[in-house]
Amino acid sequence: MSNLQHHSVTLTAPPPLALYIHFPWCEKKCPYCDFNSHQIKDRTGGSNQSGFDEKRYINALIADLETELPNIWGRQVHSIFIGGGTPSLFSPEGMDQLLSATRARVNLEPNAEITMEANPGSIEAEKFAAFANCGINRVSIGVQSFQDAQLKALGRIHNGEEAKRAIQIALDHFQSVNLDLMYGLPNQTLEAAKADIETALSFQTPHLSLYNLTLEPNTYFVNFPPTLPTDDEVDAMSEQNLKLLTAAGYKRYEVSAYARKDQGCKHNLNYWRFGDYIGIGAGAHSKISYPNRITRQVRERHPEAYMTTMETKGHAVMESKEVDANDLPFEFMLNALRLTDGVDTQTFSERTGLPLSVISKPLDKASKKCLLDENPSKLRATDQGLRYLNNLQEIFLA
């Protein structure tokens, strides 16, 4: 019988609120990518000569945002993240229209963090300057590697020199820059992985994200798998990453994220602390808290279906549901335990609306396995818990 049979969700205050905007197109679909991104098939059509109808998509995004306004009346938006896909394929004019329309409709915190994802192959100096003028103050560049052979194996459209040039342009125009890097790449050696990290460190960006390449369902790589390093070799790369970045003054504040002091990604921290977010755009997800419930939504996934549904029905939500109270502890811990500092114990009740007592048994079990810190004021994974994070998170499944 469930621990939660006598408990209902009771939230005394809503958590911080963020806005995610999804851009669903890429110049080329990477063989490892399982995100909702669609390769531009026709580069000669569309209103911006790039194979997608920018004006139509932006109109759909604005209309989508308007449908969410009744759910967030009076609440301030603390951050915006424009992800994809490759949002840097937006024209500066389109980006300006989108952000201006957003500011006119939501209560955006002054100096809010506004991040845009970008690929080195879609970067021009003038375009980046224009994006900065629109109000984007943080850019996340999908470098993945600086070595041409690796980039080719990953199906990337840029080479190592283009990646370096893109980073320098970004540093010239934005307050904050993140570099996405991958390790455990096809035929990658420990030395090659080290060279990538050292090149990234030479730019002294305030933030670095490091991801182990994994074979995801519904990707080209899962059907035609490349030769990847062994688990032991990947572990050695991970340990090497931590050592190099720590020595360079970066703190690992989340499983895959490293930052200089006070340079963590505010938008992602909101996810990991189980904050709320509106997601607009094709396939976007939302999480909204109310005094007595927490809800999730999912939009139409395919860009054409998303735009058509917005135009014909006035909304593109294909699924909307209340999160079952039994699922909230796992959803919370799935996110919070990714943070190396964890979260304050009281955050559990503040964000789930449930008493901490509902997870007393799994907390005790995780502590006895040395996966969870025994500090009663923190919900925090031990070093061993971070190493075996999946095992730790599974303890909190309903």
Domain 328-394 coded CATH 3.40.50.300: no
**DSSP-derived pairing of the beta strands 293-299 and 317-322:** antiparallel
Dist CA 369 CA 88 (whole Å): 45
Supply the pLDDT for residue 304.
95
**Model pTM score:** 0.93
Number of CB atoms found within 10 A of residue 39's CB:
11
Contact 329, 352 (CB under 8 A): yes
Q: Report the alpha-carbon distance of residue 6 to residue 106 in Å, rounded.
A: 37
State yes or no: cis peptide before 342, omega within 30 of 0.
Answer: no
Instruction: Pull the structure tokens for residue 119.
Output: 């690929």
Structural domain boundaries in the chain: 17-271, 328-394
Which architecture characterizes domain 17-271 according to CATH?
Alpha-Beta Barrel (3.20)
Tell me the pLDDT of the chain (398 aa) as tens digits: 345 555 789 999 999 999 999 999 887 766 556 566 667 765 444 444 456 899 999 999 999 999 999 999 999 999 999 998 899 999 999 999 999 999 999 999 999 999 999 988 767 788 999 999 999 999 999 999 999 998 888 888 889 999 999 999 999 999 999 999 999 999 899 999 999 999 999 999 999 999 987 877 776 666 677 778 899 999 999 999 999 999 999 999 999 999 999 999 999 999 999 999 999 999 999 999 999 999 999 999 999 999 999 999 999 999 999 999 999 999 999 999 999 999 999 999 999 999 999 999 999 999 999 999 999 999 999 999 999 999 999 999 86
pLDDT at residue 35 in the model? 64
pLDDT of residue 296: 97
The pLDDT score that the predictor gives to residue 221 is 65
Six-digit token string for 253: 């504040």
CA 105 – CA 159 distance, rounded (Å): 40
Closest CA to 204 of 239, 229, 170: 170
Q: What is the pLDDT of residue 214?
A: 81
The pLDDT score that the predictor gives to residue 158 is 84
For residue 351, which amino acid is it? R
Give the pLDDT confidence score for residue 26 in this predicted structure: 82
Residue 57 CA: distances (Å) to CA of 22, 130, 191, 278: 10, 20, 44, 17
State the pLDDT at residue 251: 97
